[in-house]
Amino acid sequence: MRKLFTILLAGLSFMASAQGQKKDKQKANYSLAAKFSPTKLQNLIFSTDVKPNWINHSDRFWYEYRTPSGKMWYVVNPQTKSKQLLFDNADLAAQVTKIVKNPFDAQHLNLENLKFTDDEKKVRFEVKSTKDTIKTKDELAKLKNKADSLKKKVFFLEYDLSTKQVTELDERQKEKQRPVWASFSPDTSRVFFAKNYNLYWMDRQNYEKAIKDEKDSTIVEHQFTTDGVQYYAWGGDQYSTTSGGSKEDDETKKRQPVRLMWSPNGQHFALTRKDNRHLNALWVINNVGQQRPTLETYKYLMPGETDSTEAELYLFEINNLTARKIPIGSFKNQTVSIYNKDGDKSSYKGKHYISYWLGDDQEFYINRSSRDLKRIDIVAVNINGQTRTVVEERSNVYQDIKKPYFIKDGSQFIHWSQRDGWGHFYLYNKDGKLVRQLTKGEYNANDVTGFDTATQLFTFTANGKEKDEDPYYLHHYHVSLKGGEPRLLNKGNFDNQIEVSESGKYFVNNSSRVNSVPESNLYNSSGGLVMKLEKADLSQLFAAGYKFPEPFKVKAGDGITDLYGVMYKPFDFDSTRVYPIVEYVYPGPQTEAVNKSFGRSMDRIDRLAQMGFIVITVGNRGGHPDRSQWYHTYGYGNLRDYGLEDKKVAAEQLASRYSFIDINKVGITGHSGGGFMSTAAMLVYPDFFKVAVSGAGNHENNIYNRWWSERHHGVIEKISSKGDTTFNYQIDKNTELAKNLKGKLLIATGDIDNNVHPANSIRMAEALIKANKRFDFVLLPGQRHAFGNMTEYFFWKMADYFAEHLLGDSNRDEVDITEINRERPIGK
């Protein structure tokens, strides 16, 4: 009997073990994930916000809004509180059909480049047809395949708002788009541009010729600088732009844009220049772009590298067009930028936009920052060449900076600073004397959005002021220049995106959370609701089975700091099941990959959850700047490990709350900084994180770009006894921890990524190979940083990887990724 009992126990144990193994090997739900592909979402999610197009700088605006019933166009007059259809869609469709000869109906109208005429009595737009027409002379000249000389005709139409009639306009009546290279003088008599790295101008008559034919040999151009060369140019030289491939077109012969900042009276303009010839180059090889693999070359400044030249500021006088160099040196390897005036009605001369400097006819303002960003100055530059420091900001860590906002008469300005540990506004006189602090408290004031001279109230956006709300939710406020408590203008526990009219009297407010339906409303400057505009129609999305994700709050690794995140569950969620958890990460510090408002995140995060995972995104100390400066700069000096503890403890806390989370099966994934972080997590906490998919990670930040790496990690400035200044940069790298890998790791990179160079992933692979580790590697041919048209392929490779190593579902017998093939029309 004892022997039989032992055999029975062994059998029960075997059955329990088998059942446990069966439970571990859950099937990945590919079909549910495929239901929410980007292609399918286009027909499930329609308009979710209102983008006002202010009509001729007035408070009136029009907008388009798409629902399951089609696209509609509305015009809104805030003063009369009216919202009207711009067209009768059915009548317009009938008229367009008669002209274009392609059938349209009320639900299937597609109008492009819609614009009111100056008298606001007519509306002009374009409609594409299926009619073939011969390409323009310029288009034909660029053709590599001369057989491809036809294109589909685009009809240029005009709708009379009073008669409600549509007429076809001749192409010559169409307002010509300003070429990207054209920069107008304030009197619009001259057009400035760069060519062969130098500055040129032409008059209006020759500009009209250039619009008709860029290569017209009769065009007269006037060159007024002669010493510009590649990488030390006056304009038209973006040193970080990848060049290479076909040499059929000589770029030096083409007109290029130049960023000139004009005085209000048009008598002077300023620009900056820097000699980048000493910068080293980087290369990528495009193996699939052309018949022969091509070498692409671009300048790239890495952290800690020597910078042998300084930014230069030049002032030109319009009458003689000679350059005067303005002495602005204060810090070694300083960054200099000229502040531009915010665009408004006065920035337009006719149809032409003019870039004015921030200031008056005698003086303009620049920003001057030390290389380590611990010292930042706002400097006034006089046209006589003299400079004066208006505001100094000093800190032991890097600082952020925003453009000063000048009050209408120019005697005072609002300055943004983090000097008390939070982003706040300060009122200064023009001479640099502090008048008073305008906002204060444990919240982050963000951007000035307007000023009312009559009431002396200015409006601004801010984060974290409202108690018991997610501090990342953006709100709109106003407060007096005399100070006082700001008044909330858009109440509600939502994140908000604000579009303010030029007059500042009205703003369109788009509000939502990740778990609410987006709404769009119109308010006045006092926060009064003028009218409700739209509420998004998500009916088809919900009909497909969509469910909102769930916001949550946990504590950081210090047990004190609140972290905010979002949990995404499978739409067929079963509370009796146990799910692996996957963290989608991006460490910042310039942002965090945590959605706050409703959007289309389901093409990456929601969709991954449908495979059978709990997917979370959560912030970390050292992340988003919209909290305190302490929070934002927490990772200063430790840019590899700073956020990892918070990602770990967040998952642990959620697993303690919810029995459906399997804390023994934790995956992590991210792109760029998230690719770097997901790999680092596997190496710093190898017993906790079991599987990672790492996309385009900057695994060695010593070979990433100088601006981001030195800014957020820190660079040490050393001054010798002789006064020589050098910069030292040291940072921990993922490759140094390769020996720690225990789990499953997939590394992916585009082979022509000119942002995070493929060397980052290749060096990571080398370190893992030298450490005798098994891992997986995917090279995406012809893809840059975002993976382009291979994004979908990468998603399903990631889904496969987590399915196999977290769910135990490796029974993917088919070679084809059928989830992609189903989305493509036959023959594509």
**CATH number reported for the structural domain that contains residue 584 in this entry:** 3.40.50.1820
398-420: per-residue pLDDT in tens?
A: 999 999 999 988 899 999 999 99
Q: Which residue has the higher pLDDT, 262 or 350?
A: 262
Same domain, residue pair 523 and 611: no
Is 50 exceeded by the pLDDT of residue 15?
no
DSSP one-letter code for 302: P
Other residues' Cβ atoms within 10 Å of the Cβ of residue 248: 7
Q: What is the CA radius of gyration of the chain?
A: 30
Asked whether the beta carbons of 236 and 286 are under 8 A apart, the reply is no
Would residue 555 count as lying in a domain?
yes
Domain endpoint, select from 518, 537, 556: 537
- The pLDDT, as a whole number, for residue 601 is 62
Cα dihedral 118, 122, 123, 124, rounded to 10, equals -80
Q: How far apart are the C-alpha atoms of 14 and 464, rounded to whole Å?
A: 56
Asked whether the beta carbons of 73 and 64 are under 8 A apart, the reply is yes
30-62: per-residue pLDDT in tens?
A: 999 999 999 899 999 999 999 999 999 999 999
Q: How far apart are the C-alpha atoms of 527 and 273, rounded to whole Å?
A: 44
DSSP string for 307-370 = -----EEEEEETTT--EEEEP---STT-EEEEPBPPP-GGGEETTEE--BBSB-SSEEEEEEE-
Same domain, residue pair 110 and 137: yes
Nearest to 338 by CA among 362, 363, 318, 321: 363
Token readout for 248 is 């059929």
Is 90 exceeded by the pLDDT of residue 21?
no
Across 536-660, the runs of DSSP E, i.e. the strands, are: 550-555, 562-568, 579-584, 614-618
631-643: per-residue pLDDT in tens?
A: 999 999 999 999 9
Nearest to 238 by CA among 624, 754, 643: 754
Q: How many domains does the chain have?
A: 3
Is 70 exceeded by the pLDDT of residue 148?
yes
Same domain, residue pair 463 and 509: yes
Same domain, residue pair 675 and 588: yes
Is 50 exceeded by the pLDDT of residue 1?
no
Same domain, residue pair 532 and 552: no
Omega before residue 589 within 30° of 0, cis: yes
Would residue 599 count as lying in a domain?
yes
pLDDT band at 134 (very low <50, low <70, confident <90, very high): confident
Q: Which residue has the higher pLDDT, 329 or 173?
A: 329
Is 80 exceeded by the pLDDT of residue 825?
no
User: What mean pLDDT value characterizes the chain?
Assistant: 92
Q: How far apart are the C-alpha atoms of 530 and 439, rounded to whole Å?
A: 27
Give the pLDDT mean for 734-753.
98
Buried-exposed string 621-649: b where 16+ CB fall within 10 A, e elsewhere: bbbbbbbbbebbbbbbeebbbbbbbbbbb
Is 50 exceeded by the pLDDT of residue 447?
yes
- Would residue 611 be called left, alpha or beta, if left means φ above 0 and alpha means ψ between -120 and 50 degrees? alpha
Token readout for 269 is 């303009």
Same domain, residue pair 525 and 582: no
Token readout for 445 is 């004031």
Q: Which residue has the higher pLDDT, 214 or 251?
A: 214
Q: Which residue has the higher pLDDT, 41 or 813?
A: 41
Distances in Å between the Cα of 563 and the Cα atoms of 577, 627, 646, 671, 685 are 27, 11, 8, 21, 20
Would residue 664 count as lying in a domain?
yes
Would residue 452 count as lying in a domain?
yes
**What percent of the chain has a predicted confidence (pLDDT) above 90?**
84
pLDDT band at 172 (very low <50, low <70, confident <90, very high): confident
Q: How far apart are the C-alpha atoms of 235 and 229, rounded to whole Å?
A: 10
Handedness of CA 173, 179, 185, 186 (dihedral sign): positive
Would residue 181 count as lying in a domain?
no
Is 80 exceeded by the pLDDT of residue 682?
yes
pLDDT band at 140 (very low <50, low <70, confident <90, very high): low
Cβ within 8 Å of residue 287, ≥6 positions away: 293, 751, 781, 782
Same domain, residue pair 555 and 443: no
Same domain, residue pair 502 and 434: yes
Would residue 251 count as lying in a domain?
no
Tell me the whole-structure pTM to 2 decimals.
0.92
Handedness of CA 329, 330, 333, 334 (dihedral sign): negative
Would residue 183 count as lying in a domain?
no
Q: How far apart are the C-alpha atoms of 328 and 818, rounded to whole Å?
A: 61
- The pLDDT, as a whole number, for residue 586 is 95
3-state DSSP of 704-727: CCHHHHHHHHCCEEEECCCCCEEE
557-606: per-residue pLDDT in tens?
A: 999 999 999 999 999 999 999 999 999 999 989 999 899 999 866 668 99
720-736: per-residue pLDDT in tens?
A: 888 888 999 999 999 99
Same domain, residue pair 585 and 529: no
- The pLDDT, as a whole number, for residue 252 is 82
Helix or strand run (H / E) with residue 381: strand 375-382
- The pLDDT, as a whole number, for residue 412 is 96
Same domain, residue pair 686 and 556: yes
Is 90 exceeded by the pLDDT of residue 26?
no
Domain endpoint, select from 514, 537, 560: 537
Structure-token match 């697993």, residue found: 655
698-714: per-residue pLDDT in tens?
A: 999 999 999 999 999 99
Would residue 509 count as lying in a domain?
yes
Other residues' Cβ atoms within 10 Å of the Cβ of residue 523: 20
Domain endpoint, select from 173, 195, 221: 173
608-633: per-residue pLDDT in tens?
A: 999 999 999 999 999 999 999 999 99
Distances in Å between the Cα of 366 and the Cα atoms of 274, 359, 483 are 16, 10, 27
The range of the structural domain enclosing residue 498 comes to 404-537
Same domain, residue pair 446 and 570: no
Residue 531's domain is classified under what CATH number?
Answer: 2.120.10.30
Same domain, residue pair 598 and 714: yes
